[in-house]
């Protein structure tokens, strides 16, 4: 099947991300942004469509037509210094007195902290018979974006893991380009969690094709789910199915499974695409419907501290409700990996 894909030069170049080799320009985070890409139909999974026409026959548990890989990057557990003050002012303007009173204590009181919501997310997902992956930073205090010490979250990590949710690593700013850093942070997280970590996504979606895949494989990760554009939702390499990346420099597959990222909350909204809530929802529905049509896997990233129009999880629940209404298999990256490698890959 992949030999057949190799015969189609245009799709092969898209699948392997050939245009990202030997780049002369990247953005300030050393990323290749969508606006520099030659690919203009990012909302169509052209490679997946070709593979389906040439023998790929994905199937999912209980006869589900498609799967949703739910993920959360835990960038912050504690609000930034001035957030409580700003939060109080905004709450007062909206006439929400209870929120205005709680906000000043959000850095010292868990019940007042809207970012301390991991168990709330689990409860919400369980309502829709869903599970997800939580990717945690394991930074040192001197590193950029340090917000929490992973050791302080031991009970939360234990709760997630014991409940059947996945705990994975959210690599720091330099992890995508350093084997030593990947191994160090993986070890630190595993020590707190008390079990092996197999899933990964890099902070700020920092990634180099094919280098980061090679480093992740050497570090002992089984799957990655970083491959998506920060500045646009969609199918970065034309795939809406998990796949083994191909190293064009060495002419071989890389020993890691990529579960490509399709939707990130911050891509849709003010940070990048700058869609209003209505347009963001239309885009979200379109991408979910498209993946359903191709019997694929749609990976959705929702940060625990994303707030839309004052509601922390309201939009996210709308996504869950829509996917559950389509009878999707809604689960973690770990379960997608286990299913794909045991049930689909052997037949490819």
Cis previous bond, 210, omega within 30: yes
Shared domain for 16 and 125, answered yes or no, is yes
The whole-number pLDDT of residue 111 equals 58
The whole-number pLDDT of residue 247 equals 98
**Average of per-residue pLDDT values in the chain:** 91
Q: What percent of the chain has pLDDT over 70?
A: 90
What pTM was computed for the model?
0.91
The backbone torsions φ and ψ at residue 149, rounded to the nearest 5 degrees and listed phi first, read: -90, 125
Q: What is the DSSP code string of 176-221?
A: GG-HHHHHHHHHHHHHHHTS---EEEEGGG---TTHHHHHHHHHT-
Shared domain for 140 and 236, answered yes or no, is yes
Give the residue-averaged pLDDT of 134-152.
97
Q: What is the DSSP code string of 5-43?
A: HHTSHHHHHHHHTGGGTT-S---TTS---GGG-S---TT
Shared domain for 150 and 298, answered yes or no, is yes
Shared domain for 202 and 259, answered yes or no, is yes
Shared domain for 142 and 102, answered yes or no, is no
For residue range 8-26, list pLDDT tens digits in order: 999 999 999 999 999 999 9
More confident residue, 309 or 87: 309
> Is the Cβ–Cβ distance between 78 and 107 less than 8 Å?
yes
The whole-number pLDDT of residue 312 equals 75
Residue 84 pLDDT > 60, yes or no?
no
Please state the domain count of the chain.
Answer: 2
Shared domain for 9 and 128, answered yes or no, is yes
Containing domain of residue 92, as a range?
Answer: 81-114
Residue 237 pLDDT > 70, yes or no?
yes
Q: What percent of the chain has pLDDT over 90?
A: 83
For residue range 185-233, list pLDDT tens digits in order: 999 999 999 999 999 999 999 999 999 999 999 999 999 999 999 999 9
The whole-number pLDDT of residue 91 equals 40
The whole-number pLDDT of residue 102 equals 42
Token pair of 80 as six digits: 């930034």
Shared domain for 63 and 85, answered yes or no, is no
Shared domain for 229 and 103, answered yes or no, is no
């Amino acid at each position: 099947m992949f030999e057949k894909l190799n015969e189609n030069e245009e799709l092969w170049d898209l699948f392997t991300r050939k245009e990202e080799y030997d780049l002369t320009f990247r953005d300030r985070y050393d990323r290749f942004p969508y606006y520099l890409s030659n690919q203009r139909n990012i909302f169509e999974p052209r490679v997946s469509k070709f593979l389906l026409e040439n023998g790929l026959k994905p199937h999912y548990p209980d006869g589900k037509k498609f799967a949703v890989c739910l993920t959360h990057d835990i960038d912050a557990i504690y609000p930034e210094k001035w957030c409580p003050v700003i939060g109080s002012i905004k709450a007062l303007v909206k006439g929400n007195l209870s929120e205005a009173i709680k906000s000043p204590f959000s850095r010292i009181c868990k019940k007042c902290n809207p970012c301390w919501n991991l168990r709330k997310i689990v409860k919400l997902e369980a309502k829709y018979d869903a599970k997800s992956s939580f990717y945690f930073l394991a930074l040192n205090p001197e590193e950029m974006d340090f917000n929490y010490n992973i050791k302080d979250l031991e009970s939360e990590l234990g709760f997630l893991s014991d409940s059947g949710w996945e705990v994975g690593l959210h690599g720091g700013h330099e992890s995508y380009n350093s084997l030593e850093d990947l191994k160090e942070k993986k070890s630190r997280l595993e020590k707190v969690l008390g079990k092996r970590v197999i899933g990964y996504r890099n902070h700020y979606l920092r990634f180099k094709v094919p280098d980061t895949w090679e480093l992740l494989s050497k570090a002992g990760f089984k799957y990655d789910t970083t491959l998506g554009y920060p500045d646009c939702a969609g199918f970065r390499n034309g795939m809406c199915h998990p796949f083994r990346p191909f190293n064009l420099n060495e002419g071989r597959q890389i020993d890691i499974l990529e579960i490509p990222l399709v939707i990130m909350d911050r891509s849709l909204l003010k940070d990048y695409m700058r869609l209003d809530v209505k347009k963001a929802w239309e885009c979200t529905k379109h991408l979910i419907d498209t993946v359903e049509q191709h019997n694929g896997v749609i990976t959705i990233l929702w940060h625990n501290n994303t707030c839309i129009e004052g509601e922390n999880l309201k939009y996210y629940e709308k996504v869950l409700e829509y996917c559950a209404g389509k009878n999707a298999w809604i689960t973690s990256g770990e379960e997608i990996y286990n299913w794909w490698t045991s049930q689909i890959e052997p037949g490819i």
